[in-house]
Amino acid sequence: MQSGIGGYREIFDFIQRSLFGRLGAMKISDVRLQKYDLKLVRPIIIKGHALENRTGLILSLIDSVGRTGYGEVAPLPFLHKETMDEAACCILRVRQTLLGRDIQNETALFTDPIEKQIDMDLPPSVSFGLEMALFDLSIQKTAGQGIFSGLKVPACGLTSADSEGLYTDLREMLERGFTTVKIKVGGNSIAEDANRIKTSREIVQNKINLRLDANRSWTLEEAVAFCGRIGSDRIEYIEEPVNRVCDQKAFVEKTGIPLALDETLLEKSLDSISGLGHVGAFVIKPGLAGGLRHTAELIDIARRNNIMSVLSSSFQSGLAIRALFLFAGAMGLSGVPAGLDTLKWFAEDGLAHRIPVVNGSVRLQHLLEQRPCFKQALLSDV
């Protein structure tokens, strides 16, 4: 299901030629930081904690000719180990290292992780924000070298947790042309969850695929019982269905339903991820995975093992969502619905222009042409 170009080295060589081949000298002349605090339409539940607002940092890297590359640093409470204050302090330390640096040779984005390039340990949210800003500078300077022309990335619709909200969301997504949606399971009894999925199938009428996310809610026996009730029709995969990693392979063998890894990818080093024959998808959150470079390495592991890669958001603002759609296109994932339909949770976004999702997809050339413009009233200097 992954379109695009060859393996890990081929991908990076292509990006280097396309995005960095004509950079010339590019020095960072200024680094700026602003904070946002955005209200949510509905709370985000993270490990049993309800978040009413989403806070984060907008990082601006200004080069010597006045171009600005934007990054977003937004640790998600109860998922990231670093707090936002710690992330801000880290960026202020990095600032002195970046100022005046020629990043053409020293910081070619996809040659080494940003931590190695600046010889400093960075928390995942900061690595992501810095690499996102460099990526934004690069595609801005080269206008993407045409690699985004004609590309669209489909979005995977994110649904409400409660049944009535779920069914309303499904009907809306059907009308808007979505082909894939994500549904949370594991928060109710097995019978209740199974009935929700059966009703969801009836609503989407074989026009939408379902991705289920159990967040390790079940034992192996419970997961198998749930799958026995729903069958495999229209189920693209179940994300982290069992509460023990050692039971993942047995789950697939007993149910025949593809399994997706999310938390497991964050808990294991790249070298220790092996025996992936039972895995159907990697769900990768670059803001948690440690940046774009580490994300690209995971995509390469997936591609070499015939595993689908799904880019996903850790509930960042529209700025990061824009970058992740573009990154999905650069990584050859334009055929894979991305888990980036999270902005509906925001009462107001920091960007002045909402990202347009038309017929369930986002046109990348539009994102490239429309530079980020911020609602300054929602931002404050750090």
pLDDT number for residue 21: 46
How many CA atoms does the CB half-sphere of 24 hold within 13 Å? 5
- Write down the pLDDT at residue 106: 39
Q: What is the pLDDT of residue 45?
A: 86
pLDDT at 144: 54
* Residues whose CB is less than 8 angstroms from the CB of residue 236 and which lie 6 or more positions away in sequence, other chains included: 180, 209, 210, 211, 258, 280, 281
Vertex 199, ends 193 and 201: CA angle to 5°?
A: 105
> CA–CA separation, 373 vs 349, rounded Å?
11
**Homologous superfamily assigned to 8-145:** Enolase-like, N-terminal domain (3.30.390.10)
What was the pLDDT predicted at 271?
Answer: 64
What does the domain layout of the chain look like in residue ranges? 8-145, 152-374
Position 172 scores a pLDDT of 95
pLDDT value of position 105:
45
Give the number of other CB atoms < 10 A from CB of residue 373. 10
Residues 6+ apart with CB under 8 A from 211: 156, 180, 181, 182, 183, 236, 237, 239, 260, 310
pTM of the predicted model, to two decimals?
0.91
Same fold, 8-145 and 152-374: no
Does 1.10.3720.10 match the CATH number of domain 152-374? no
Tens-level pLDDT at each residue, the chain (382 residues): 444 444 445 555 555 554 444 445 568 899 999 999 999 998 988 888 999 999 999 999 998 889 999 999 999 998 999 999 999 999 999 998 888 776 654 344 555 566 666 667 899 999 999 999 989 988 887 665 577 888 999 999 999 878 889 999 999 999 999 999 999 999 999 999 999 999 999 999 989 999 999 999 999 999 999 999 999 999 999 999 999 999 999 999 999 999 999 999 998 766 666 678 899 999 999 999 999 988 998 999 999 999 999 999 999 999 999 999 999 998 999 999 999 999 999 999 999 999 999 999 999 999 999 999 999 999 999 9
